[in-house]
Amino acid sequence: MRTFTLEQIAQVTGGLLSKEKDVAITKIAPPALADETTLALALGEDEIANLSTTKAQAALVPLGVNIDGFTTIEVERPRLAMMKLITMFYEEPHVNSGIHPTAVVHPTAKIAENVSLGPNVVVAENAEIGEGTKILANCYIGNGAKIGTKCFFHAGVNIGDRVKVGNDVILHHGVSLGADGFSFVTENPNNIEQAKKDGEIKENDVNQVIFKIPSIGSVIIGNNVEIGANTAIDRGTIEDTIIGDNTKIDDLVMIGHNCRVGKGCMIVSQVGIAGSCVIGDRVVIAGQAGLADHLKIGNDSIIAAQAGVSKSFPEKSIVIGSPAMPRKEFIKQLKVMKDASELVAKFKKYEPLLKTFEEGHSEE
């Protein structure tokens, strides 16, 4: 069990310690779940209120919160301090030392020093794995794939042929990098092409052979990228699909072939990005948003949750709705709808008078 002094925690979090008594901290928890050796995390109003009944003797609180008779560590940025605190207590999943006896490594693969390969890991022909990388059970590293240094792959990760992964990359359970893109063509124009060109579907009951377009590009993942469980990033058709340095991707995200995602982006769960999109740097795409193909989203933009993006937007855009539009325009439309509902209500109120007036004039 890890144990820390209040002084150690204050130093790591950069907080201001107001100590009433010495407490050896063995864990962290919300005030309602805390005991005597817990540092209570009271980062919001509800949690601060719960300190009056907590069993904890010390708490991490926002700057300016001081409770008489209670030990506190005040921090300017509570969420940042919480991250540092959790890192102190975090323990990585267990990894075996070296290469597990059940791992299968092709003779032409290059494995650097201090690499850990778990049970049933397969490393294919001409693959390369950098120093200090840890790969847990049942992962597959494809032909010619190159994995950087100090990466951590959780169980069940699949890396396709020729995929390149940078340094300090974390891939969670079930990540798929480098599957073929969803790319097909018919011999003659199909209903999708007609709809895009003419706005209508002219042909009925026309069966055509659908030809697969193979993907000969690959996927390139930058440095310090983290990708959540069961996320899939497809290889490019001809050019590579690229994810920039420091980008963080949540669980269950789909990024299509030929996409280019910039540096420092945040892509939240269940986002779908169709092929050949270009996403700028520091873009935030909130949960369940969907982007049509061949779009460009400028740097420092924010796409709100469940937005249906069907056109490109310039840098520093904040877009919302389906179809997605600039936030100011969306709010303006909401106001128009509200005004319209009030007009309808007024009309219904005076509708009997209008009918009486019309009936009187019709008799004349």
Q: Which residues are catalytic?
A: 257
Look up residue 96 and give its two tokens.
């075996």
Q: Which residue has the tokens 């990760």?
A: 157
CB 110 within 8 A of CB 60: no
* Phi, psi values for residue 62, rounded to 5°: -65, 155
Output the CA–CA distances (angstroms, integers) from residue 68 to 21, 58, 65, 321, in the order listed: 12, 12, 10, 47
Instruction: Answer yes or no: are the C-beta atoms of 179 and 234 closer than 8 Å.
Output: yes
Which residue blocks in the chain are alpha helix, DSSP H?
6-13, 45-50, 78-89, 191-198, 327-363
C-beta of residue 30 within 8 angstroms of C-beta of residue 50: yes
Long-range contacts (CB closer than 8 Å, 24 or more residues apart) made by 254-263 = 255/231, 256/181, 256/182, 256/293, 257/180, 257/181, 257/182, 257/183, 257/215, 257/217, 258/181, 258/217, 259/233, 262/299, 263/222
The answer to whether 267 and 247 have CB atoms below 8 angstroms apart is: yes
